[in-house]
Amino acid sequence: DAGVTQSPTHLIKTRGQQVTLRCSPKSGHDTVSWYQQALGQGPQFIFQYYEEEERQRGNFPDRFSGHQFPNYSSELNVNALLLGDSALYLCASSRREGYNSPLHFGNGTRLTVT
Amino acid sequence: GESVGLHLPTLSVQEGDNSIINCAYSNSASDYFIWYKQESGKGPQFIIDIRSNMDKRQGQRVTVLLNKTVKHLSLQIAATQPGDSAVYFCAETYTNAGKSTFGDGTTLTVKP
């Protein structure tokens, strides 16, 4: 049973560029959340997708957008990259039913913006 | 606003000792709390959770205590082992919140 998988594992981009990160949820999970983790800090909630719609959003600018596909996989897009966007981007999946259940995280995509 | 904080950023213990990691939260509406362990180069991994209608829950070598009166959460690890060395995060959420709010973590180092 595959867990949450993310690609790529590492990425280097230049300021102003755009990036797309991908996530496949754990088998049986239908909800995907994205988190940004800066070095030495806890993960910060970006947004959550369920039934192909953004359901909740954290305090992140519109440069951050996402998508969920019919197979529950998801993408995170960041436009006009800033140096401050350098971080570990974590995808987490869960089941909508049985609310309040732990998140299952992937190992993240390390994004470096130069 | 919501915040989940840990009392100590680092904790160093001797192998075989018990470890206690503390966390304070501020949102009285939170009804579900989770402890995660994050090893270097990996995503956070679920350890144990507790709902607000409980004050204690035990797992294998781990115990979580919840004190809603003072909004305090703790993780106790019995007979700490070198493999327990990692960053530990507490997270809180509430029904229909959608998101979990994480603290900044405590780095646990286990000395042989």
Domain boundaries, given as residue ranges, for chain A: 5-113
Alpha helices in A35-81 (DSSP H): none
Q: Which residue of B has its CA nearest to A103?
A: B46
Cβ contacts from A onto B, under 8 A? 58
If you average pLDDT over each of B20-34, B79-93, B97-111, which comes out highest? Answer: B79-93
Predicted confidence at residue B64, as pLDDT, reads: 98
All domains of chain B in start order, with CATH:
4-97+104-111 (2.60.40.10)
At residue B48, the 3 state secondary structure works out as: strand
Was domain A5-113 assigned CATH 2.30.33.40?
A: no
* Segment B43-81, tens digit of pLDDT: 999 999 999 999 999 999 999 999 999 999 999 999 999
- Contact between B34 and A102 under an 8 Å Cβ cutoff? The reply is yes
Q: Which residues from B are below 8 Å from A103, CB to CB?
A: 34, 44, 46, 100
Select the residue of A45, A104, A106 nearest B99 (Cβ to Cβ). Answer: A45
Phi-psi region of B7 (alpha: psi -120 to 50; beta: other; left: phi over 0): alpha
Q: What one-character DSSP code corresponds to residue A84?
A: G
Phi-psi region of B16 (alpha: psi -120 to 50; beta: other; left: phi over 0): left
Q: Lowest-pLDDT range, A28-32, A61-65, A72-76, B5-9?
A: B5-9
Q: How large is the average pLDDT for residues A12-27?
A: 98
Place of tokens 């440069």: A63
Q: What one-character DSSP code corresponds to residue A26?
A: P
